[in-house]
Amino acid sequence: MSGVFMIIESIHQEPLENTAELLTKVVIDQVESQCILTRIMTTVFGKPGVDNDMEFFGSGDRWVILWTQPQLSLADTEARLAQVLRSS
């Protein structure tokens, strides 16, 4: 990587209609490698299909990640991501 670090552009949660679940949406900017982003998300939230139901959307340096599992608070989600992004 050329020294540009991924940044959390936004984190948002909203309840899914007729369920007790929340949909979490994270937008990450300055992504130089989708592979590295995926590895970071797996490190933080576990294996897709096993520990989470994440979906990745985007191209270039801006990516949106959506999930309902794991159910974490907004503050916990932000803290986990910030810690890993700082160390990557």
User: pLDDT tens, 44-70?
Assistant: 999 988 999 999 999 999 999 999 999
Kindly report the backbone phi and psi dihedral angles of residue 60, in degrees, each rounded to the nearest multiple of 5, phi listed first.
Answer: 60, -130
Span 5-43, pLDDT tens digits: 899 999 999 999 999 999 999 999 999 999 999 999 998
pLDDT of residue 84: 81
pLDDT of residue 1: 44
The partner residues of 12 in beta bridges, in order of sequence, read: 25
Tell whether the torsion through CA atoms of 71, 77, 83 and 85 is positive or negative.
Answer: positive
Report the candidate in 28, 38, 22, 35 with the shortest Cα–Cα distance to residue 64: 28
Report the candidate in 30, 56, 52 with the shortest Cα–Cα distance to residue 43: 52
Question: CA neighbours within 13 Å on the CB side: how many for 9?
Answer: 12
The answer, yes or no, to whether residue 3 has pLDDT greater than 80, is no
